[in-house]
Amino acid sequence: MSGDEERSPCKERPEDKTDPGASRHGNFMNYYQFHPAEERRVRQLPCGVWRSAHPDRKYVGLDVGCNAGDLTFVLHDFLETALSADQPKEIRLLGVDLDPILIERARERNPRPDRIIFECLDFLAEDCNRTLDEQLRRFEKSRFDVVFCFSVTMWIHLNHGDEGLVEFLRKACSVADMIVIEPQLWKCYRNASRRLRRSKGEDFPLLKTLKLTGDPAGHIDRILTEFCNFQRVTVTENNEWKRRLLIYART
Ligand SMILES: C[S@@+](CC[C@H](N)C(=O)[O-])C[C@H]1O[C@@H](n2cnc3c(N)ncnc32)[C@H](O)[C@@H]1O
């Protein structure tokens, strides 16, 4: 991937049989080389909205599709600062990703193993529930205070179809008091498909069956508010990728 792709992650590349940006699940190995996780990924997050249902307990977050963990590390530091003003408390984060190599990397590079842990899990798989329940019990919580889903919904949608996207959001909401979603734009879907076809000679089989097309953020908003009973807290401005953060809370 080139430096240009950092500013435009969905940009089409010339035909390249070994395109490292061609992926089935978004499990890019060098993602953070091209999409640095520092400040500008979390700059859009507001500060005053991170309420906890249990102000006396630790603040616990889940990062779904955490890749090699870089953004999870930054989110930990962000929450520490954001919460310090009105409700100082210890933060615990669980990062999950379906790729075992990425999780291994995240564990090796974890600067706060006392506060951040990583598990290799397919969020839609059955055994994921058991692990999430175990972790919540450890934290003495029934739900996560916040669930982050940064740049993961497109991969779920492409691989599991419209129903899979709804299932994913329902499941994320079922374990969350708040949810933060950074949806990819529709043009990213087309580019992901094109790159997979060119590089691997295969496509996402469910792409042609999708009905929730054109405006992923709009569809996600409707699913969260109409099917998951969450209410919109805020939608941020576009970042430099033209992606917004959608923030919702349990009603
Ligand atoms: C494009 S990366 C985004 C990484 C990170 N969230 C960020 O925005 O910096 C998408 C990640 O989602 C993961 N992923 C895709 N489908 C998943 C699933 N069903 N369960 C868990 N992780 C998944 C991929 O392995 C990949 O690491």
Distance 96 CA to ligand 1 centre (A): 8
pTM greater than the 0.95 cutoff: no
Q: Is 97 in the pocket of ligand 1 (CB under 6 A)?
A: yes
Distance 151 CA to ligand 1 centre (A): 7
Q: Is 62 in the pocket of ligand 1 (CB under 6 A)?
A: no
Distance CA 75, CA 162 (A): 29
Q: Which of 129, 146, 163 is the last residue of a domain?
A: 146
Q: Which of 111, 146, 181 is the last residue of a domain?
A: 146
Task: State the alpha helices, DSSP H only, in 85-152.
Answer: 100-108, 126-138
**Counting atoms of ligand 1 from 1, which one is nearest the CA of 25?**
15
Same domain, residue pair 192 and 246 = yes
Q: Do 147 and 64 meet the contact criterion of CB atoms below 8 Å apart?
A: yes
Q: Per the domain annotation, does 73 fall within a domain?
A: yes
Distance 68 CA to ligand 1 centre (A): 9
pLDDT beneath 50: ranges in the chain = 1-16
**Counting atoms of ligand 1 from 1, which one is nearest the CA of 67?**
27
Distance 100 CA to ligand 1 centre (A): 12
Q: Is 65 in the pocket of ligand 1 (CB under 6 A)?
A: yes
pLDDT given at position 5: 33
Q: Per the domain annotation, does 125 fall within a domain?
A: yes
pLDDT given at position 6: 30
Distance 81 CA to ligand 1 centre (A): 25
Q: Is 31 in the pocket of ligand 1 (CB under 6 A)?
A: yes
Q: Per the domain annotation, does 235 fall within a domain?
A: yes
pLDDT given at position 43: 86
Same domain, residue pair 168 and 237 = yes
Half-sphere exposure of 112 (CA within 13 A, CB side): 17
pLDDT given at position 12: 37
Helix (H) or strand (E) holding 250: strand 246-250
pLDDT given at position 84: 74
pLDDT given at position 242: 80
- Give the number of domains in the chain: 2
- The strands making up 59-64's β-sheet, listed across from edge to edge, are 116-120, 91-97, 59-64, 146-150, 178-182, 246-250, 230-235
Q: Do 230 and 248 meet the contact criterion of CB atoms below 8 Å apart?
A: yes
Residues in Cβ contact with 23 at an 8 Å cutoff, skipping those fewer than 6 apart: 192, 195, 196
* Structural domain range at position 232: 151-250
